[in-house]
Amino acid sequence: MKTDIYEKMEILSNSAKYDVSCSSSGVETNYKKGELGATHTSGICHSFTSDGRCVSLLKVLLTNICIYDCAYCINRVSNDIPRAVFTPRELADITINFYKRNYIEGLFLSSGIVKTEDHTMTLILKALKILRNEYKFNGYIHVKLIPGGSMELVEQIVKLANRVSSNIELPSDKSLKLLAPNKTKEKVLQPLKFARDLSLEKNQKPIGMSTQLIVGATPESDKDILKLSSALYDKALLKRVYYSAYIPVNDDRNLPSVVTKPPLVREHRLYQADWLLRFYDFTWEEIVNDEFPNLDEDLDPKAFWAINNLKHFPMEINTASKEELLRIPGIGARGVFKILKARRFKRLTFNDLKKLKISIKKAKYFITCDKEFQKQVPFYKENIRTALIKPEPKKIIQPSLFDVSAVTGEL
């Protein structure tokens, strides 16, 4: 067991890096005297507030000691790795010191389970009380709740945190039983349901809640994953589901080989599909189904839906409703707003869309503008698919004879 505070920090920030509920971890560069700028591997990550601001957070575990033996987790009890634990006071002091040095704006706190679930939650609560009550810290705090902890402790933590989460990790009960026998879906979701119901009882704004699903460790399809995510959103249980491409850290017969590459493209497609669920009024059945249970790696989910539903296209840009416009590949919410505003004054053409700075790279295959339609690609599924996947040829710009900077690279 490590006792030096710097060793603890290194161990516990490194152990927290596999949780993607907090967007990105820090990197390290070597500081050199006389040069500007340095980065730090102390577990600083970035998240985003509801108004779009990026905030820096200290991302760390209270402890990487754990009584659970989840097959996919680097911190499982059967792994022989360096272990450490912060006292609540140490954790609070580090957070405040980092904040005063302007390294961070808040804290993302997770933990392994030491002794019992309630013992761990009690330590987390003590750290939060020191921060909020003693140091009067009013910054952002995100806490990962411990499945199986008492609801009394959950209630107290919810009062002190800005956001809480509880990781489901695996999309099905079968996979949980196989790889995480100490967990059940109900056990993971119970504290989130309690926190939601608590805010409803008191007519308060619901606290932001999230979860993480590991992608690629088990055989579930994207259909299974998105169906679960959609159900969690429909129940107003979560603000966000995070998808984490499985990184092999343990050699286990029930897991992919340790040389397996993380399915990063699949993770990216799931985030895109999740965006359609939350902001574009798509249902999970429209994005994935029995015929196509997995997302297309070559096309984004909206484009894949469109080429499989050409009966809705081509769509006339001047008469389509807001809901219809949002379904056009390549046109986002901001583009739709521009179109609706501009067409009150005139009928829009392709040239007008360019003037509005709306990209038609994908959209041109699915729209008409004042009854005009692109003629380069025939309106058939395979032709459009090929055009969407095929990269456009790069334009070669010849430097001017008098453009010295283009030849020499000087500014």
Q: Give the angle 184-251-219 at the CA atoms, nearest 5°.
A: 50
Nearest 5°: phi and psi at 158?
A: -60, -35
Residue 194 domain-assigned?
A: no
| Cα Rg of the chain, angstroms | 25
Please tell me the distance from the alpha carbon of residue 339 to that of residue 392, in angstroms, as a whole number: 25
DSSP 208: E
Tell me whether residue 408 is in a domain.
no
One digit per residue, pLDDT tens: the chain, 411 residues? 656 888 898 888 888 877 766 543 333 444 444 443 344 444 666 565 555 566 788 999 999 999 999 999 999 999 999 999 999 999 999 999 999 998 889 999 999 999 999 999 999 999 999 999 999 999 999 999 999 999 999 999 999 999 999 999 999 999 999 999 999 888 999 999 998 888 888 777 778 899 999 999 999 999 999 999 999 999 888 889 999 999 998 999 999 999 999 999 999 999 999 999 999 999 999 999 999 999 999 999 999 999 999 999 999 999 999 999 999 999 999 999 999 999 999 999 999 999 999 999 999 999 999 999 998 999 999 999 999 998 766 666 555 555 544 444 443
Phi, psi values for residue 150, rounded to 5°: -70, 150
Q: Is residue 108 within 8 Å of residue 22, measured between CB atoms?
A: yes
Residue ending a domain, choose from 117, 150, 165 = 165
Instruction: Please check whether residue 10 lies inside any domain of the structure.
Output: yes
User: Cα–Cα distances in Å, from 260 out to 216, 249, 256?
Assistant: 10, 10, 6
Q: How far is CA 26 from CA 13, 44, 57, 110, in A?
A: 10, 5, 10, 17
Other beta carbons within 10 Å of 14: 19
What's the structural domain count of the chain? 2
| Domain contains 409 | no
Give me the domain span that covers residue 15. 5-165
| 224 domain residue, yes or no | no
In a domain, 39, yes or no: yes
Looking at 144, 165, 186, the residue that finishes a domain is 165
The closest of 123, 129, 150 to 63, measured between CA atoms, is: 123
Tell whether 204 is covered by a domain: no
Residue 129 domain flag: yes
Q: What is the pTM of this model?
A: 0.85
Measured CA to CA, the distance from residue 178 to residue 275 in angstroms comes to: 30
CB neighbourhood size of 155 (10 A): 13
Q: Among 165, 196, 217, where does a domain finish? A: 165
Asked if residue 158 and residue 306 are part of one domain, the reply reads: no
